[in-house]
Structure 1
């Protein structure tokens, strides 16, 4: 990048929830150029309409990788949720290194460094490969997304006021994905301030019973939680033909949440105000913001 050229930021997962929100937070920043990665020309249309540059990037087509990273300075790296994320991430990072990308902001998963939850650990292996590649980096580790109660895997998470999940009475740590996107945008826009940092992002700890009670009070309709066996989840994934290497990890973590054997599952953190100058979203604010969507 020359002294007269604005830094160019590639957003992978640009059509997804976190990627698209990260772009929204970056749009007003005229000191950078946003480049959205899309899999097909058809998906580029919505970005082009906003004046956002696009490149074709297919994680499974390595012939698209090198071109996508040309003249890119920073990357927001959002991988898919299958075991293929390990192979895909390595290939992407190898291509980024050859194209002299400088900074990687990686969207990972929950957990401390010593986690033994399978898919969380996979994300940490990607983190280590980023570091080994010589990039400057910012690692994001969000806790459970509050948006999961609006819908999960293309299905409603709440049906007629009934919340279904697989964690028994476990208390979990939660984060609004918009807060995650805001931190991602700051780390991309100001890498000098965030390089070498790992940010765990979770700001409100509640059980599903407590969430249901809060929803009842705010929405004005009755909500309650019905816990399901983790076996129901695994059988549903098998019936749907899901990629089971990843889904078995998810099944295992549901079991461990239900048994209360995941250390720090309800940990919350006090870094959001320091990072953004704002208070993080708590459950009461999230429910109020999405009141119409929760109504039935």
Structure 2
């Protein structure tokens, strides 16, 4: 007896976002990255178009304060130079993009002026040919100044700037729009908030094809089940036709390193170096299964 595979028919489709710009497009990237385009749930190719394959960005931070010692094993002295760090990500580990975090601008820590911090952006752009994601430090006032400069330095490069949230989205949206960059729409594990920030950004003038959603991923042991459910709801709503949730999704898997299991010696848990890698790996795979594009 033949068994028919049950197939869902969806009316919606995830939008497409292009990151990076080649020389022909006014940038200097050796290649660009395209995400989105799925018309079904993740990896269900028998059901419909799965869109562009998920891509991976390598994290580079402009300060090594509080950086996990276990990770230095993989990058060595390169962590002291954003350009060398980015090169190692691309040339040795095959990263599709670089995610540069300007944590040195944090007013409660190093408080580096934005004018100094953007030197790391210039260095990374000169060191690797892949598209670039740039985050600030999380302080709204400082990030507003920093992202304006980042946008200007990366003019023509089609950067992805992070992040815009409901309490502070106009400055980063304006910075992105000024030079043709894309923007990360951040929300706190809530489908209504995810939709709201997308509405605010589009009402402000940001095009849908310039928005990537970050619904906030909880790491393994830190709320990952709830994050998975929320991402799944967002994807289902998008496939059912909600145009304000049809943007590709980004997940920051470095959140996994906030768990004590990644940084503390716990004898019964085995080798900490292997455990920490598996911890982030499990977090990342879960995000992919929930619909992450980046």
TM-score, normalising length: structure 2: 0.34
TM-score, normalising length: structure 1: 0.34
